[in-house]
Amino acid sequence: MGLMSSKIGRDELRPGDHIYTWRSGNSYSHHGIYVRDGKVIHLTRGPGLIIFSSSTQSSDDRVVCSNMEDFLCDGQLYRFEYGVSRFEFFIRRPGTCSLASSDPPEQVLHRAYYLLENGFGNYQLLNRNCEDFSIYCKTGFINTGRHGSFSGQISSLFSAINAVAIIPYRFLPASLIGLALVVCGLYCFLRLSNDAGRGNRDFDAVEVEKLADLSDAHNIREDMNMMENSTIRRFLRRVNYHSGGIVWTIRIWYWTPENTTLLWFK
């Protein structure tokens, strides 16, 4: 099996495996936990384009147990790899592996079945999606803050945006090779810092039996926000968390006089 692919056959599946399949022309992947007998437990969302859902949409955003055919939707089967090296982490496509170690299959299946009965909370593209659900089942790590995600697909997108935006262009190497190395290095650093295996003060190991209390508190905050703000404003506020650093960096590197900026490096 090559480093760039974790495609597997159904006969290679083991209960507790984190699996995924690419959809919409390989533009994004859908994740779930294989249990047994050709069944997959995964987080689904309501129909249409949904960035994040409210409590009124929770009936459409739920954890379900589907057969493999429905989960794959004619796509190919892949296995998410855990405990990979940093080298493998960087050369593989985001959303296919993690530095974090997986818990034993018994714990993974316990979390998956418990969440099947009790739910995982409302779907949120930016910090509680199907990949976050599967990573939680495998590791026990969950976002306990207002922002952030272990989803490799989401974190890589914001890492790429920030890597390009926060480069101090007036001090860039003159060559294109130097520019590429600086951008690539910053992107790798930002992507690595958001992985479940690196640790983050907003992410903690939470027992699945206590997850409902955490979700209830989160939903209460969401309902209060919905009463005060429109859906678009809430979405922009979430995006602003990830991109807020861009604004301040632009102010530092472009609005500060060059002689003042140079003093900071002396």
| Helical spans, DSSP H, in the chain | 68-72, 86-91, 105-118, 130-139, 152-165, 176-193, 211-228, 231-250, 258-264
The structure tokens listed for 195 are 């992985």
Nearest CA among 41, 40, 45 for reference residue 58: 45
Residue of 30, 31, 218, 242 marked active site? 30
Q: Which residues pair with 41 in a beta bridge?
A: 33, 65
Residue of 18, 97, 130, 218 marked active site? 130
218 catalytic? Reply is no
242 catalytic? Reply is no
Rounded to an integer, what distance in angstroms lies between the CA atom of residue 29 and that of residue 71? 11
Residue of 18, 31, 42, 218 marked active site? 42
Nearest CA among 242, 183, 9 for reference residue 1: 9
42 catalytic? Reply is yes
Burial 174-186 (b: 16+ CB within 10 A, else e): eeeeeeeebbeeb
Active site positions, annotated: 30, 42, 130
